[in-house]
Structure 1
Amino acid sequence: MDALVLTLIALGSIALLLLLIIRFHVPAFVALILVSVGTALATGMPFAEIIPTIVEGLGGTLGNVALLVGLGAMLGAIIEHSGGADALSRRFARVLGPARVGAALLIASAAIATPIFFDVAFIILVPIIYAFSRAARLPSPMAIGLPIASLMLFIHVVVPPHPGIVGSSAIMEADMGLVTLLG
Structure 2
Amino acid sequence: MTAPERQRDLEDGIRGPGCCLCAGRNAYLAAFLEMSGLDIQSVLLFEFSDTFYDATVMLVIDDVTQAIVVIVRGTLSSNETLVDMLALGEPLRQEDKKLPLEERFMAHGGMVRVARNLSEKIVREGWVEKAKHLRPDYPLVLCGHSLGAGLVSLMSVLLRPQYPELKAYAFEPPGALMK
Could you state the TM-score of these two structures normalised by the residue count of structure 1?
A: 0.31
Greater strand fraction, Structure 1 or Structure 2: 2
Could you state the TM-score of these two structures normalised by the residue count of structure 2?
A: 0.32
Work out which of the two has the higher radius of gyration on C-alpha atoms and give 1 or 2: 1
Greater helix fraction, Structure 1 or Structure 2: 1
Which protein has greater RCO, CA pairs closer than 8 Å, 6+ apart? 2
